Every structure is written in C-alpha cells, then in structure tokens.
Amino acid sequence: MELKKIIEAILFSSSEPVDIKELRKVTGKDKVEILNAIGELISDYESRDTSIEIIKVGEKYLMRVKPQYADYVEKYTVREFDRGTLRTLAVIASKQPITLAKLAKIRGNKCYDHVKKLQERGLVKAEKKGRSTILTTTEEFATYFGLQSSEPEKIKEALKSFFE
C-alpha cells in the first residue's frame, strides 16, 4: 500500500489531530518519509482546491473542513456542547485570562456548570490566585478548534479575524 494513502485514511478517520509518532508506529516508516507523504497530501488538497484541508496543529496533523464551509456542514456534525457552554467558552477564550467572578457577571450563574464541563473536557484550566480563580484556555482548546497556537494572544487574534 502507498504510504500517502494510508496516512490520508488515518487523518480522514480521526476526529483528533494525529502525531508523527503515532503515524510511525502504525506505518513502520521513519519520520522523514511520513513528513514527505504529509507534505504531498497537503499539496494535493491545495492543488485540487477542495473544501478539505490538512493542517499542522502543534506537532500533530488534522484533516478538517475549511472554516469557510463549516456553516454548511454544522447540522451534520455531532455537537458536543450546548450553545450556552460554547458562549461561555467564547468569553473565556476572548477575554483570557479572566476571573471566574467576572465570567459569572458576564454569563450568569450557569457558567459554573459550563466551566466544569469545559474543564472535564480539558479545554479550560482554572488556577487559584489568592481568593480568585483565573480561567484560561488550554493546548487541548487549540487542538480541538484546529488553531495553530495555544498562546492566549494568538487565540484572541484568531477569534478576532474569524468574527471580522
């Protein structure tokens, strides 16, 4: 079997980004061969001008629908969080670092349940600073949403450009 097709099948089947180590383990190929195959796949998808893309997320790779087509496929995807939880996450991501108290003023008391769900999923972390709880997004947040960086300022920039 052709390495490029095997990697394409793995990326297509995975809902999470896949790292090189995992691809090496599955294919038995070395890092250079895998990176070359991924590079060819990325070029193939770019040259065909499809609605699908392969992106690098940290040190992992993800196949996804391009953001400009997301609205069209939304009803066909499984929604993991309700709208309220997603809105709470959006506030945290756009205003991070944000205190839990300030978040509650913005989103109301339901935000405590939302934050708990988001922490359980690993998208948000809470750190105690004195009597306050400071909320920020995690690397898993960046991975989940296919962002290139988990740095708070980069996330804010990505959100800003998305909503412009």
| Third-level CATH fold of 83-163 | Arc Repressor Mutant, subunit A (1.10.10)
| CATH match of 3-72 with 1.10.10.10 | yes
Instruction: State pLDDT tens for residues 132-143.
Output: 999 999 988 887
Report pTM. Answer: 0.58
Is there a common fold for 3-72 and 83-163?
yes
Instruction: State pLDDT tens for residues 63-108.
Output: 999 888 888 887 777 677 888 898 999 899 989 999 999 999 999 9
Q: How far, in Å, CA of 70 to CA of 19, rounded? A: 24
